[in-house]
Structure formats: structure tokens, C-alpha cells
Amino acid sequence: MKIGCIQLNVRFGKVDENFERAEQFIRKAAQGGAEIIVLPEMWNTGYALEKLSELADENGERTKAFLSKLAQELAVHIVGGSVAIRVGEEFFNTMYTFNKEGELVGEYSKVHLFRLMDEHLYLQAGDKMNRFALGDIEAGGVICYDIRFPEWLRSHALQGAKVLFVPAQWPTPRIDHWKTLLQARAIENQCFVIAVNRISRKVENFNGQSMIIQPWGEVLWTGADDEELAIIDVDFSIVDEVRTRIPVYDDRRPNLYEEVVKS
């Protein structure tokens, strides 16, 4: 299956321009044969947290209409990264996923807000999982800082996800954490990890290095440190093979650690 990863150079606070450029890349990815297309985190606004009252998408309506229309027209699944949305007086960092029929199959608001960049001062946290299917592919999705919480990704894997999508705006100074954590999440959950980071060179500092990692831990692709569209072939059938070879899920001892994980 071909995955189109859009390592978008998100323009800070320039919502219309970001929509226009996202559309160009989505069309290009579909023309190039991508069957699942993935965008990065907060691609409508960038980290313009102080301007959310002007910029955030009201109930996510614009984003949902945009992604649904393109998914249906181009007959591609779209894991729509995430966008800043407004619901009443509150703001969320929300990921929408549409299948190739244009139906909304996943809606998820980032659960772990990143305090180092003041997200908790501007955003509300979500409180729901993000499990969905794209055709016969069982998937889950989390956002950026969420990857520092292995139990959260494990919960998605335990609920059947065989591929985890991770849109992000992960800053350059901690890019080694990004790479190591993503690889660990793929190996420990024996699943594919498809992680798309953004680019920014001006107000912010994000240098891409998106990754596709297979369940044995092998890195199939690492993005450049500039804007890029990559179309990468993956074979999801190897998940079951890896899980049979080292039967981690059967060997778990949840009765021993459940209380520790919950506390």
C-alpha cells in the first residue's frame, strides 16, 4: 500500500495559505498513487496559540468539509494531521481521519498537552481514544507529545491497532527523542508507526525527519529537513508475522502491572 506523507512547511497563522498548499500536496500525492495521505499537526495555524480566537476552525467545519471532499473526489484515505478548532469558548488540537468514501472515521483531540510550549494555557485536552479502520487496515492515531506516553499507544494497540499514525510539530532541538521514541513505540507494540512532522524555518523551528517504521523496528523512510512529499510502499501484512514470531501480546502479565499503570 502506498502512503503519501506531506511534510508541510506550515505558515504561522496563515490559514488560507495553509489550506491552499495542503490541497496542492494532497492532489499531488493522489496523482502519485498514494492510497493513504497523512498531514502534520496543527497545519491550519501552526503554533499561533495566542491567535486562536481569530484563527481556529469553528467546530472543525472547514477542515471536515475540505478533507471529506478531497478524500471522496480522489478516492484516498486521508489522515488529516490535526488542526486548531474552536468549540464554544474552548480550543482543541484535533485530528480528523476520512476514508476514501469521504466518511469521517476518526476524530481525536490531543490528550496530553505539551506544557513546555504552553499548550495547556490555550487548549483543552481530549479524553477519548482514536481507533479507526481504513478499509481493512486497523489503525489508531495520536498526536506529537502523546508518544512520550507508551501506555497510551499500547492502549490503542491492545484495542486492535496495527498501524499508529502520529502527526506532529516536533521541535528540532529534541529530534533525537522523536526518532528514538517512535522506533521504540513501533517495536514494543509490534505495529507500523507512520509519523509526519512539519517544517518551519521562520517564526518556529521544526525540521521534519518524519518517519515510517515497520513493526520489527526497521526505519523504512526518514523525511528530509525541508518541505517534502514522499510516497512510500508498505506491506501491512507483516504485523501478524512479527506478532507470531515474538508473541508479546500473549506473554503480557497485565494482572501484575495494571494497578501500577493506572496509578
Ligand X SMILES: O=C(O)CCC(=O)C(=O)O
Shortest spacing between CB 39 and ligand X, in angstroms: 15
Task: Clarify whether 191 is annotated catalytic.
Answer: no
Q: Does 177 bind ligand X (CB under 6 A)?
A: yes
Q: Does 174 bind ligand X (CB under 6 A)?
A: yes
Task: Clarify whether 144 is annotated catalytic.
Answer: yes
Of positions 144, 157, 166, 230, contacts ligand X by CB under 6 A: 144
Q: What angle do CA 21, 27, 31 make, to 5 degrees?
A: 145
Sequence-ordered alpha helix ranges (H) in 32-80: 52-55, 61-74
- Which is the catalytic residue, given 5, 35, 41, 107? 41
Task: Clarify whether 103 is annotated catalytic.
Answer: no
Q: Residues with Cβ < 8 Å from 49, sequence gap 6 or more? A: 118, 119, 121, 122, 123
Shortest spacing between CB 171 and ligand X, in angstroms: 6
- CB-wise, 175 or 238, nearer to ligand X? 175
Shortest spacing between CB 173 and ligand X, in angstroms: 8
CA distance 70 to 75: 8
Q: Does 115 bind ligand X (CB under 6 A)?
A: no
How crowded is the C-beta side of 87, counted as CA atoms within 13 Å? 11
- Which is the catalytic residue, given 110, 138, 191, 227? 110
The two beta strands, 36-38 and 83-87, are unpaired
Q: Does 120 bind ligand X (CB under 6 A)?
A: no
CA distance 189 to 76: 26
- Which is the catalytic residue, given 35, 107, 119, 144? 144
Is the Cβ–Cβ distance between 93 and 41 less than 8 Å?
yes
Of positions 91, 170, 192, 236, contacts ligand X by CB under 6 A: 170
Sequence-ordered alpha helix ranges (H) in 134-262: 150-158, 175-189, 238-245, 248-251, 254-262
Shortest spacing between CB 43 and ligand X, in angstroms: 13
Cα–Cα distances in Å, from 163 out to 136, 145, 213?
A: 12, 18, 10
Of positions 132, 145, 192, 236, contacts ligand X by CB under 6 A: 145
- CB-wise, 69 or 177, nearer to ligand X? 177
Summarize as ranges the residues that interact with ligand X (CB under 6 A). 114, 117, 144-145, 148, 169-171, 174, 177
